[in-house]
Amino acid sequence: MKISRLDNGLTYAVHPMDVSYVSIVASVGLGSLYESKKESAHLLEHLVFEGTKTRDYREILDEFDSSTVNNNYNAQTYPDKILFMSFGAKNKADKMMGIISDIIQNPTFPRDRMDIEKEAVRRELASASDGLTTELVSAMYGKMFRNSDLDNALRIASDDEIASLTREDILKEHDYFFRPDNVAVVIYGGINTIKGKGIVHENFSDFSGRFRGIRKPVIKPTYDTSDEIVKSKMVSGPTLAFGFPIPEYRSDNREERVALEVVADLLNKRFMDALRHKNGYVYDVSADTTNYAQFGSLLVATECSHENMDRVKEEVSKQISLMHGGEIDGVELEKILYSSRDEQNVALYTQPVPAAMTIASAYIYTKDAKYTKSLDKDLDINIDIVREVSEKYLNPDRMSKVSLLPK
């Protein structure tokens, strides 16, 4: 992995592989944790595809379609970043980089496209909010990080808030955040270092301006262990969630990130054994990690009957305490380490698109080259590392609880 920085401050990395494809990802350090107006980052992400100084929106879409594999290009807004990504044949790397560079540096935000994209954002957010998972996760993050910027960042904007955004709002946001020293670019796949470096220089050397910085967002967990009751129209019976906030999490710690995934897998097995197979309290239960560049969480969710609510909560607390105290099933751990799920976890750092996304995000906040060096090494996730991560993050004294009950 070759890591470099242009004279203007833009960080980039080239990771050659013996494959026929290339992934390009650009990460901009702007998300709902930082934006001045609600959902302006999300709308901005949509609008950069609507026209630049040299391309209208049809030309942008046509050129992406012709240079990527199966139209594999996209952009996504997160609380901490906007990602622009494309995936295509290696002989199209110049073309893909040229389009991404153009929409990042030269968007014109046509007025006639504003209302169209506002409606698209409204529909996207409505679709995201119209679901049990979204309601549960939003309630849990509101509980875990109450009275911090993260609580507000995960709130879905109202139609009025989106409608009130102006072209001037978007221009101001772009001018402030889309600066070379607040952007990281990763090229990953069938491209050699010299070629990759060349197309970055060709497309971004004239990128000007300096990011003036912004107040560091407050990401402060509450560690409120009380059980919060939320009335919901989305549930017909009790839906229970248990969460562990991880404010000190670093996405550039590859070993710890994968170990957390393994901890979630071990929890799933323990919960299924105790809650379903042994006692029949639940039909299903899930434990999953959520990871951003500056924070993360481990969430557990399940459904049960009213009469079994207290039993489920007691058993979840018991299993959490046992793992936190170091009780790890070594045989089960070995099964997980060689299962298809673990292969997916490791693939997050070996497949071009997800690996490039992770690296680009880490660069924005850490500027740390040590992370990419670990990509060239095999992970050794053993029982000692899993115990260490369980003790560090799976603390029952930090567990938040939310119960969604029928309205």
Query: Looking at the structure, do residues 149 and 241 belong to the same domain, yes or no?
Result: no
Beta-carbon-side half-sphere exposure of residue 69 (alpha carbons within 13 Å)? 12
**Is the pLDDT confidence value at 35 over 80?**
no
Residue that is last in its domain, among 171, 204, 237 = 204
Which are the contacts of 377, defined by CB distance < 8 A and separation ≥ 6? none
What does the DSSP 8-state code read for residue 343?
A: H
- Domain membership flag for residue 218: no
pLDDT digits (tens, 9 = 90+) for 269-322: 999 999 999 999 999 999 988 776 667 889 999 999 999 999 999 999 999 999
Whole-prediction pTM value?
Answer: 0.81
- The pLDDT mean for the chain works out to 84
Residue that is last in its domain, among 172, 204, 236 = 204
Q: How far apart are CA 160 and CA 257, in angstroms?
A: 38
272 contacts 343 by C-beta, under 8 angstroms: no
Q: How far apart are CA 40 and CA 170, in angstroms?
A: 6
How large is the average pLDDT for residues 63-80?
83
Query: Looking at the structure, do residues 194 and 233 belong to the same domain, yes or no?
Result: no
Is residue 182 classed as helix, strand or coil in its secondary structure? Answer: helix
Out of 4-13, 81-90, 141-150, least confident range: 141-150
Total number of domains in the chain = 2
Q: How far apart are CA 150 and CA 152, in angstroms?
A: 5
Query: Looking at the structure, do residues 238 and 385 belong to the same domain, yes or no?
Result: yes
- Domain membership flag for residue 364: yes
Query: Looking at the structure, do residues 171 and 286 belong to the same domain, yes or no?
Result: no
- Domain membership flag for residue 219: no
- Domain membership flag for residue 212: no
Query: Looking at the structure, do residues 154 and 231 belong to the same domain, yes or no?
Result: no
Q: With 0-12 CB in 10 A as exposed, 13-18 as middle and 19+ as buried, what is 290?
A: middle
pLDDT digits (tens, 9 = 90+) for 220-277: 888 899 999 999 888 889 999 999 988 766 655 667 777 888 899 999 999 999 999 9
Beta-carbon-side half-sphere exposure of residue 225 (alpha carbons within 13 Å)? 7
- Domain membership flag for residue 245: yes
Token reading at 267: 């929890």
Domain that holds residue 90: 2-204
Q: How far is CA 389 from CA 33, 93, 127, 133, in A?
A: 27, 39, 35, 26
* 227-232 and 400-406 beta bridge pairing: parallel
CATH number of the domain that residue 330 is part of? 3.30.830.10
